[in-house]
Chains A and B, each alone.
Chain A
Amino acid sequence: MKKILLLMVVGVFLFSGALLSASGDVQVADDYDEDTYGPKDPIIWVKPVKSVVFHHKTHTMDAGLDCDSCHDELFAMEAGAAEENEDFTMATLYEGGYCGACHDGSTAFASNTRCTTCHIGVRGHARLLGDDGSAAKGH
Chain B
Amino acid sequence: MKIDDLEQMESEDLRTLSSAERRRFLKFGLAVTGMYLGGSVLSLTSAQTVLAAGVVPELGKYAYTPHYSMVLREKLCIDCERCKDACVKTNHVPAYGFRTTILEKRRSLGGDNFETTFMPVLCNHCNRPPCVRVCPTTATWKDEKTGIVVMNPSRCIGCKTCMTACPYNARYFKEETRAVDKCDFCFEAKLSKGETTTACVEACPADVRVFGDLADPKSRVYQLVHSPETMVWVLRPETGAVPNVFYINS
| Residues of A in contact with B (beta carbons under 8 Å apart) | 48-51, 114-117, 119-124, 136-139
Contact = CB atoms under 8 A, between A and B. Distances in A.
Interface string B96-136: 11100110100000000001111000000000000000000
A139 B95 CA distance: 10
Q: 9 closest Cβ contacts across the A-B interface?
A: A121-B79, A119-B78, A49-B80, A116-B116, A122-B81, A50-B80, A123-B104, A115-B78, A122-B79
Given A49-B80, A115-B75, A123-B79, 12 more contacts: A49-B82, A50-B79, A50-B81, A116-B79, A116-B115, A116-B117, A121-B78, A121-B79, A122-B81, A122-B102, A124-B116, A137-B101
A77 B101 CA distance: 36
B62 interface: no
Contacts of A49: 78, 80, 82, 205
Nearest to B171: A139
B169 A120 contact: no
B108 to A, nearest CB: 14
Contact of A116 (B78, B95, B96, B205): B78
B88 interface: no
A139 B116 contact: no
Contacts of A48: 205
Contacts of A120: 79, 116
A26 to B, nearest CB: 16
A104 B82 CA distance: 27
A69 to B, nearest CB: 23
B141 interface: no
A139 B79 contact: no
Contacts of A138: 96
28 contacts: A49-B78, A49-B80, A114-B115, A115-B75, A115-B76, A115-B78, A115-B206, A116-B78, A116-B115, A116-B116, A116-B117, A116-B118, A119-B78, A119-B80, A120-B79, A121-B78, A121-B80, A121-B81, A121-B102, A121-B116, A121-B118, A122-B79, A123-B102, A123-B118, A137-B101, A139-B96, A139-B97, A139-B98
A66 B246 CA distance: 45
A136 B81 CA distance: 14
Contacts of A116: 78-79, 115-118
A139 B81 CA distance: 17
Contacts of B101: 137
A49 B83 CA distance: 12
Contacts of B76: 115
A136 B97 CA distance: 10
A138 B205 CA distance: 27
A139 B102 CA distance: 13
B172 A139 contact: yes
Nearest to B79: A121
A116 B119 CA distance: 12
